[in-house]
């Protein structure tokens, strides 16, 4: 393909543990790209990919498409407008059924969305305490994390491959502030904002004809539109591949916390 078609841009979607070699080859061929998440499973691989892209000045994006769900966009707007006041806590829950030969697959390949979404809305995480279980002998695919953010808020992340994506409310994100609360249900299903002390909440749900915002797969379409727009205008990617390395860093800190039974601090800049 490289020799015959000379692509101007490539989108990479491969099995989760097979990202590194192909991505590295394309970077060394000076190909701008959008890669699927997770970026990779090893820190040294992430560092190598980012270094290669930086040396060549390449457009290098990653598909954290949860950011482009309508409820996530509304939550971001509410936070930026100060409607929640100071963030006090945030909690993310996401899980279904899956299996992998990697013992920490759920944490790295699925909860990368949780790490990215929490930091996208609440700012950088500074420390993690982790508990995990391999009760089903499917790896440590059910986990609970206690988080502390740089802004002094606290949080939690619960992830699993021992549940079912068929369950209602299998994904849930709550952000509680001094002046109000945001709640997101099943990523694209429902958004609500409720001021503190009020018995009335503002609720968004896609209307009868709004199939686009109701469908999770369309979040990729929204993100890809933003990626191509930025690429065509010679602007940085809306979600750079460095965000994938950041999610991996938080996952590795979680594994360290579990293995050592202690709190692990994370450099907010890494």
List pLDDT tens digits, range 88-105. 999 999 999 998 999 999
Of the pLDDT bands very low, low, confident and very high (cuts 50, 70, 90), residue 269 is confident
pLDDT at 270 over 90: no
> What is the average pLDDT score of the chain?
97
Q: What is the pLDDT of residue 268?
A: 87
Q: Based on the number of CB atoms within 10 Å of its own CB, is 226 exposed (0-12), middle (13-18) or buried (19 or more)?
A: middle
Looking at the structure of the chain, the number of domains it has is 2
Is 74 in the same domain as 149? Answer: yes
Is 199 in the same domain as 232? Answer: no
Q: What is the pLDDT of residue 168?
A: 93
Is 115 in the same domain as 72? Answer: yes
Whether 270 maps to a domain, the answer reads no
What are residue 95's DSSP bridge partners?
160
Q: What is the pLDDT of residue 11?
A: 96
Of the pLDDT bands very low, low, confident and very high (cuts 50, 70, 90), residue 60 is very high
pTM: 0.96
Rounded mean pLDDT, 26-34: 97
pLDDT in tens, 247-268: 999 999 999 999 999 999 999 8
Does the CA dihedral 217-99-60-151 come out positive or negative? positive
Is 92 in the same domain as 202? Answer: yes
């Amino acid at each position: 393909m490289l020799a015959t078609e000379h692509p101007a841009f490539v989108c990479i979607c491969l099995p989760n543990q097979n990202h590194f070699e192909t991505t590295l080859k394309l970077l060394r061929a000076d190909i701008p790209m959008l890669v699927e998440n997770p970026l990779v499973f090893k820190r040294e691989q992430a560092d190598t990919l980012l270094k290669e892209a930086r040396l060549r000045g390449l457009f290098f994006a990653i598909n954290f498409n949860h950011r482009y769900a309508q409820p996530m966009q509304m939550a971001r707007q509410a936070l930026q407008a100060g409607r929640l006041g100071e963030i006090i806590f945030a909690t993310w829950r996401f899980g279904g059924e899956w299996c992998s030969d990697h013992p920490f697959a759920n944490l790295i390949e699925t909860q990368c969305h949780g790490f990215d979404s929490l930091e996208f809305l609440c700012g950088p995480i500074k420390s993690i305490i982790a508990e995990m279980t391999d009760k089903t002998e499917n790896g440590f695919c059910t986990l609970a994390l206690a988080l502390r953010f740089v802004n002094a808020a606290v949080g939690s992340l619960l992830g699993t491959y021992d549940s079912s994506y068929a369950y209602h409310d299998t994904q849930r994100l709550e952000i509680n502030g001094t002046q109000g609360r945001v709640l997101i249900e099943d990523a694209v299903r429902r958004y609500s904002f409720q001021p503190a002390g009020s018995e009335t909440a503002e609720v968004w749900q896609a209307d009868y004809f709004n199939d686009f915002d109701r469908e999770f797969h369309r979040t990729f379409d929204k993100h890809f539109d933003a990626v191509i727009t930025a690429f065509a205008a010679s602007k940085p990617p809306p979600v750079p591949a460095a965000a994938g390395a950041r999610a991996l860093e938080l996952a590795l800190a979680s594994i360290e916390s579990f293995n050592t039974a202690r709190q692990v601090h994370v450099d907010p800049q890494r």
